[in-house]
Structure 1
Amino acid sequence: MADFTLHIDQNKYLPSDGREVHAVLTVQSSGAVEAAGPPAEAAEIIIVDVSGSMTGGKIREARQAAAAAVQALRDGVHFAVIAGSERAAVVYPRGDRLVPASAATRSEAQKAVSRLSAGGGTEIGKWLELAAKLFAGAHPQAIKHAILMTDGQNNQSPEVFARALKSCEGRFVCDSLGVGDDWVPAELRKVAEALLGTFDFVRNQGDLAAFFRDLTQTSMSKTVAELALRVWVPQTATLKFVKQVSPTLLDLTGKRADYNPLTGDYPTGSWGAEEREYHLCVELQQPGQVGQEIRAGWVKLVRPETMEVFASGNVLAQWTDDLAASTQLNKKVAHYTGQAELHELIQEGLSARTAGDVDTATARLAQARQIAVDSGRGDTARLLDKVVEVDASGTARLRRHVDKADEIELDTGSVRTSKLRKSEEG
């Protein structure tokens, strides 16, 4: 079984009237399993957009990408390939089922994928609902993962799409890819948020096969399925939010499953050898006495089905009249608060720019650029420079002509965060 550690960064000292407690949880997994044990049971579905906009080079690249993903499957992993347009169809195997990967089934799947052709509309919710149906027939303990790629805009109404995502929530993890510059990042962001996955921009369609291969190999490296953060807070407190803040931003607050009246489980998906960080905020109903220390939260990393606990830690609060102690910001909490603000500023700025609100867009994007520079996000700062121009005097102006691909790359990249630099952790 993989080894996990849980480290909590916080400043526990609150002013005499303080009621809000912040903490960053760093969870590390070795990813290692017992040498004599078999690989983790896994199920993988590859979902390929075959709508009318995928004609020409795009469908050729999509065939190659799907074939690369199939080739990366290890023996024994149950898998299927779905073609998506205004409907969803299983390309391989025949029938609504998954089959174990082997030299023979991988070869058959690659032949089936080579015959994919483009035509029709784009209804992403139907693709995901078919994947959920196929996963339902797979082994219940399997690590369930899907890869989805699209080059266009979802034709479903927001209400229909939302219902489809809700029906799939908790049933599998899905990583999504957008190809070209005619897709909507907000749609794949919804998929990532609902299904605990990532979404990324494939700027050059020739890179699609490498993206598919990398996502599949990452999925194959997962060793522990469906863990949750189990968070207890006292009766006199409210858990305001739980958010993943590294490697990407993902709000888990609305995904709570009550364990008991004071405790909730927040899903984290499957784990391999990796590190993730989470930010939680507890609001206390009233301050305590100066000098009093309480446990404001108790966090466990658990497998809900078996109640197995992999790691645990305490979030503390202590009231003080020492101004220096109570006003000292924990560096990790401050860093990830800034990273969340950077994401929000980029989203607000791009939305204002689309709406024609030049003043708001300029202010938000210029502020985002400064945070990106200050936090070492040089990649994001360079992308912001393509959208907003800041002269030597500090005056900001929106650029008139912005490459759509640059805007999409900025939008999709805003959910990725930088880690606190080692030199700043002290």
Structure 2
Amino acid sequence: MGNTSHGRLIFTVEVDAPEDLAVDAARADALLTVRARPAGEAEERPGDGKAGHGPRHAEVLIMDRSQSMAASGKLDEAKKAVSAAIDTLRDGTLLGIVAGDHEATVIYPPPGRPLAPVDQHVRQHAKHQVAAQVAQGGTRIGRWLTLARDLFDTSTGSDTVCHAVLYTDGKNEHETPEQLANAVRGCADRFTCDARGLGEHWHRSAIRAVTEGLHGSAAAVLDVPDLTEDFVRLMQDAQQLVMPRMYLALSLTDRFDLGFVRQTRPVQVDLTDQRQERGAEIHIPLGAWAAGAHQYHVSAHFEPESLPLNHRVQAATITLRTEPPAGQADRPMCTDERVLVVKRRSSKAFVIPVSANLTRVEAERELRFAMQDCADAHERGDSALADAKLRQALALAEQLGDARRLRLLRAMAQDGHDGKPVVRPGVSNGQIQQIGLDATRTGPVPDDPVDADTGPRRDTGVCPNCHRPLVAPDAKFCEPCGAKIGAEGAG
């Protein structure tokens, strides 16, 4: 399994990868389950960076103080949430607070000073600055993030766990999506950031851009008073982070190219564009880590004729790496290397075994797109398409046994004239944003993914082009390779 201790955590990598490939297959897929557990019960708690106490933590709290926050007491509730977050931080945590509108301002610590180690005096002064904020201006999230990055850069080293959290109640109207994307790229691999959509009038696109690029969690807080409880939990979770930066390291052999790397649990995120070339390896940033588990879908592409028939061929080696100590260039390994091996079979008649876990991953991806398409169609006013996508999402959630997403979908549905589910009239913008945002949330990794219940088995057939399982019996195209499925079917 590749069980290796690295300082504060012991890492395990499990690989679910069918070895046999069809004669005309052009890709090899693997589902990686990465688990981390504490290295020993004697470990001291993380927090203040002292010897034996784990890494130093730095936290930047980002407040939306735009003019729209003045309505319905939102800014007052947000101040309570930020103050509660400050009270939750352990002594010694480095603290900064950014107030954002169409500009960004550091409201704590005072100008020109580095992030402040939390103590009772710091808490009191920081909360005083939070309470003094007045709603004004617009929203420009990229500027907020850039200022948070600058704060981290002036006060932290490579061994510091840097974490930020922001909320916003409105649309990111003072910058383009491209400007926000550029700002996120400028912060990538520097800190992680959780983001919350507050109330009814925000849009999920900005929240997703932040959290997918900065390895954070995204959520809707529709009832504004709930933000306090959420921020307290986020601070508690952030203080469990003990590895500042982790990387999935892939070394592909000459015949293979990287197709994609996608996180599949607990949240679906395409990580391919974050790749870093490090000598003979490709490194995929995974953000900061605590004890827990994540799953990743890795796909390597190749020309079928390049592989000899009926011979085992090494496609790639897989390991985890982490941030090197100060003054060192090489990222140390956190696990033993795992080897991905494939065998191209000579006959189309050979029965290719199918990974139930990879099949479920594709079905969960289809559910994500159905939910997001439903939200998009509703926003455009295309009720027929929104209703169709809602029904598709409901069916997939039921087949997968996904109780959480099924509950969200049913909350926005009602029976139409023909008895089929349709989007309920009067569904709020907040609910639509939540559906689009939560579409990517797949839940925690099962304790044993090999033996876990992968949901009801469906005879979905296989694609005649790539021989991968289809995600539904009536699929019109193959999601992995994009091939159209003709009337003759794929099964």
Name the TM-score, length of structure 2 as normaliser. Answer: 0.81
Contact 2:201–2:430 at 8 Å: present in 1 too?
Answer: no
**In structure 2, distance between residues paired with 1:324 and 1:72:** 61
The one of 163, 167, 172 aligned to 1:154: 172
What does residue 18 of structure 2 align with?
A: 11
- 1:68 and 2:68 matched: no
Deviations, residues 247-279 of structure 1 (Å, cap 9, x unaligned): 01111100001013x521000011111111101
**Counterpart of 1:67 in structure 2: which amino acid?**
S
What does residue 65 of structure 2 align with?
A: 50
Superposition deviation, residue 393 in structure 1: 7.8
- 1:190 and 2:206 matched: no
The one of 176, 179, 193 aligned to 1:174: 193
Superposition deviation, residue 388 in structure 1: 4.6
Mean CA deviation greater in 10-19 or 141-150 = 10-19
What does residue 349 of structure 1 align with?
A: 374
**In structure 1, distance between residues paired with 2:38 and 2:199:** 34
The one of 116, 136, 149 aligned to 1:119: 136
Deviations, residues 97-148 of structure 1 (Å, cap 9, x unaligned): 2111112212221222222222221111111111011011122121111000
Mean CA deviation greater in 223-232 or 92-101 = 92-101
Superposition deviation, residue 390 in structure 1: 6.0
Alpha carbons of structure 1 residues 233 and 89: separation in structure 2 relative to 1, 3 Å: same
Contact 2:309–2:346 at 8 Å: present in 1 too?
Answer: yes
**In structure 2, distance between residues paired with 1:241 and 1:191:** 20
Superposition deviation, residue 87 in structure 1: 1.5
**In structure 2, distance between residues paired with 1:298 and 1:360:** 44
**Counterpart of 1:148 in structure 2: which amino acid?**
L
The one of 365, 373, 376 aligned to 2:398: 373
The one of 142, 151, 162 aligned to 1:134: 151
**In structure 1, distance between residues paired with 2:240 and 2:163:** 12
**In structure 1, distance between residues paired with 2:424 and 2:350:** 45
Superposition deviation, residue 396 in structure 1: 4.9
RMSD, matched Cα:
2.3
The one of 365, 371, 380 aligned to 1:340: 365
**In structure 2, distance between residues paired with 1:425 and 1:366:** 22
What does residue 268 of structure 1 align with?
A: 286
**Counterpart of 1:64 in structure 2: which amino acid?**
K
What does residue 123 of structure 2 align with?
A: 106
**Counterpart of 2:204 in structure 1: which amino acid?**
P
| Relative contact order higher in (CA < 8 Å, ≥ 6 apart) | 1
Contact 1:31–1:274 at 8 Å: present in 2 too?
Answer: no
- 1:308 and 2:332 matched: yes
Find the residue that maps to 1:28 and give its secondary structure.
Answer: strand
Alpha carbons of structure 1 residues 17 and 219: separation in structure 2 relative to 1, 3 Å: same
Aligned residues: 425
Alpha carbons of structure 1 residues 106 and 319: separation in structure 2 relative to 1, 3 Å: same
Instruction: Percent identity, please.
Output: 29
**In structure 2, distance between residues paired with 1:319 and 1:166:** 39
Superposition deviation, residue 289 in structure 1: 3.4
The one of 435, 453, 461 aligned to 1:424: 453
**In structure 2, distance between residues paired with 1:325 and 1:304:** 44
Alpha carbons of structure 1 residues 291 and 79: separation in structure 2 relative to 1, 3 Å: same
**In structure 2, distance between residues paired with 1:304 and 1:234:** 25
What does residue 94 of structure 2 align with?
A: 78
**In structure 2, distance between residues paired with 1:46 and 1:398:** 36
Alpha carbons of structure 1 residues 232 and 396: separation in structure 2 relative to 1, 3 Å: same
**In structure 2, distance between residues paired with 1:235 and 1:179:** 49
- 1:29 and 2:46 matched: no
What does residue 40 of structure 1 align with?
A: 55
**In structure 2, distance between residues paired with 1:269 and 1:397:** 39
Superposition deviation, residue 158 in structure 1: 2.4
Name the TM-score, length of structure 1 as normaliser. Answer: 0.93
Alpha carbons of structure 1 residues 326 and 46: separation in structure 2 relative to 1, 3 Å: farther
Deviations, residues 268-323 of structure 1 (Å, cap 9, x unaligned): 01111111110111112225334211121211100253421111322221223587
**In structure 2, distance between residues paired with 1:391 and 1:52:** 40
Find the residue that maps to 1:424 and give its secondary structure.
Answer: coil
The one of 403, 415, 425 aligned to 1:400: 425
**In structure 2, distance between residues paired with 1:6 and 1:394:** 47
What does residue 90 of structure 1 align with?
A: 106
**Counterpart of 2:43 in structure 1: which amino acid?**
A
What does residue 328 of structure 1 align with?
A: 353
Alpha carbons of structure 1 residues 425 and 407: separation in structure 2 relative to 1, 3 Å: closer
Contact 1:45–1:82 at 8 Å: present in 2 too?
Answer: yes
Unaligned regions of 5+ residues in structure 2, if any? 1-6, 45-51, 325-329, 456-491
**In structure 2, distance between residues paired with 1:35 and 1:379:** 35
Superposition deviation, residue 377 in structure 1: 1.2
Superposition deviation, residue 392 in structure 1: 11
**Counterpart of 1:272 in structure 2: which amino acid?**
A
Structure with the larger helix share: 1
Alpha carbons of structure 1 residues 194 and 294: separation in structure 2 relative to 1, 3 Å: same
Mean CA deviation greater in 152-161 or 339-348 = 152-161
**Counterpart of 2:298 in structure 1: which amino acid?**
L
Contact 1:24–1:278 at 8 Å: present in 2 too?
Answer: yes
Mean CA deviation greater in 163-172 or 355-364 = 355-364
Superposition deviation, residue 328 in structure 1: 2.6
Contact 1:32–1:223 at 8 Å: present in 2 too?
Answer: no
